[in-house]
A and B are shown apart, each in its own frame.
Chain A
Amino acid sequence: MTLPLHSRKDLTARIMQEKIYSLLQQGKRLDGRGPRDLRPLTIQTNLVEKAEGSALVTMGGTKILTGIKVEVGTPYSDRPDEGSFAVNAELLPLASTTFEPGPPDERGVELARVVDRSLREGKAIDLKKLCIVEGEKAYILFIDIYVLDYDGNYYDPALISAMAALATLKIPRYRVVDGKLEKTDEYFTPELTALPFSVMIGVLGEKFLVDPQIDEEKVLDVSLIIGTDEKGNVVSIQKNSPGPVPMNLMDDIIELAWEKTQEIRRKFLETVPVKLAGE
């Protein structure tokens, strides 16, 4: 018996799937990349002056804008000495015919939560540095991700843009005067404590590819988003589509994810000024 998924694609998708698979067998892809090549990456920071941090990232034809707004609020009672962050993501209707206006659907929720997990478990920032007065005042970062143009794989550029916006964040410094909080003219950039990045890996038959473009994404058997940090920890995984991942492919998938996320880290450090803690 075989799994039922193979008959689910419509005719055009099946033709495309055969084409993409036969290209992969020759080590090629539709857009001229090799199976293990990422799309070209560009990162621009500080695009939005009204946001305390912002970044526009393109990965091939996928374009993501992330802005961070900072507010002062009360720390959580179980973590009185820490600030906090919240990630939101919206798949904007201008980005794709398949996105609709309205509150985030399950795809938007999933994107936000996957990025959140990578940042949190990857320990990208030290939340203790975001505390102003213990138990009373702390910075809250609202990391809002907008997909502007969707040409496949919005997960990885979304995390890159969130990291770039965090790296270039300018938070107004507050001081306590007579028990009251007062905004000063100074700004500070909290240092990054780690560099989590993710890569989306697609499986088609026994073949892999990284960073799928939209035509590939539609016909993959299954895909996974795997996040790592610079120390060789896997910090997040999300299998984000139906389909089976053969158990015997997992070791290779993890190794490939490590190699490609290291490449993204190198590219990130070439373009974004990073103050990494302990350096």
Chain B
Amino acid sequence: MSKPKLITEDGIRTDGRRFDELRPIKMEVGVLDKSDGSAYVEFGKTRVFAAVFGPREVHPRHLSLPDRAILNCRYHMTSFSVEERKPLGMTRREVELSKVIREALETVVFLEEFPRTCIDIYIEVVQADGGTRTTGLTAASLALADAGIPMADLIAAVAVGKVDGQLVLDLNDIEDKYGEADMPIAMAPRFDSIVLLQLNGRISKDEFPRALALAKKGIMEIYKLQREALKRKYSATPQGGM
């Protein structure tokens, strides 16, 4: 298939967005009963569940650490989440993404509060339409908060990319596939720090600062939605004395 046109002359993208617009986002915490914390996050047609178990006992026990909890993370896509059926089990891509997502979360979780335990995070992508690792990380951070695990900050994530020569925010699948670059970024906004950064594609070094600024703008919007989602479940209105 040849490359379709991704941005019109009027600057409109394939799904009707401008270059600096996020897709429609839905977030909900506490969506799965058996886990200690969970979240569902949707960015357009990208749909992801995340669940957290723990802190709980480590098996086998000799793997436990005397001074802090172990953080385990599995990023996984369902077989039907993509156009062509994904084989069962973990692909190399999923192994790599599990690692970088875990490392992003390790940056903010107070693991030393729970020595000799482990915290398990499972991310399931039920439909992939671009930005699954960033959506997964955004959901995982909410699930950790829902599980009551102390963190220095929530983590919000989004990809910026280059499509038809232009920098755009929050790539969808077709933009990722046919675009020139995909740069997923996650931040701990309170610390103005990047906790996940990857680049697949080409961005000239002169464009780089603009790409980062665009990502940060999107991340601040996502961060606000995350806090709102948590408040929807956890805020309490005083009922008055009885």
Contact = CB atoms under 8 A, between A and B. Distances in A.
Interface of A: 1-5, 7-8, 10, 78, 106-107, 109-110, 112-113, 117, 121-122, 224, 228-229, 231-248, 250-251, 254-255, 258
B174 to A, nearest CB: 14
A125 B194 CA distance: 32
Nearest to B65: A8
Interface stretch (B53-61, B96-104, B140-148): B96-104
Contact of A224 (B110, B190, B197, B208): B197
Contacts of B197: 224, 237-239, 245
Contacts of A112: 92
Nearest to A239: B197
Chain B interface residue bracket vs A: 35 or more
Contacts of B95: 106, 109-110
B93 A113 contact: yes
The residue among B93, B110, B193 with the most chain A CB atoms within 10 A of its own CB is: B193
Contacts of B104: 242
B198 interface: yes
A237 B200 CA distance: 7
A4 B112 contact: yes
Nearest to B211: A234
A183 B3 CA distance: 35
B92 A109 contact: yes
A122 B205 CA distance: 14
A236 B201 CA distance: 6
Contacts of A3: 107-108, 152, 188, 191, 193
Interface of B: 1, 67-68, 92-93, 95-96, 98-100, 102-104, 106-112, 152, 181, 183, 187-188, 190-206, 208-209, 212, 216
B70 to A, nearest CB: 12
A121 to B, nearest CB: 5
Contacts of B193: 3, 244-247
Given A112-B92, A113-B93, A224-B197, A7 B112 contact: yes
B195 A244 contact: yes
B68 A8 contact: yes
Given A121-B202, A244-B195, A247-B194, A254 B188 contact: no
Contacts of A229: 202
Nearest to B208: A254
18 contacts: A3-B191, A8-B67, A8-B68, A109-B92, A109-B96, A232-B204, A234-B199, A234-B205, A234-B208, A237-B197, A237-B198, A239-B103, A239-B194, A242-B103, A242-B106, A242-B107, A247-B187, A247-B194
A173 B86 CA distance: 35
Contacts of B109: 4
A252 to B, nearest CB: 11
Instruction: State the 8 A-B residue pairs at the shortest beta-carbon distance, nearest first.
Output: A244-B193, A237-B199, A242-B106, A242-B103, A245-B194, A239-B197, A233-B202, A106-B99
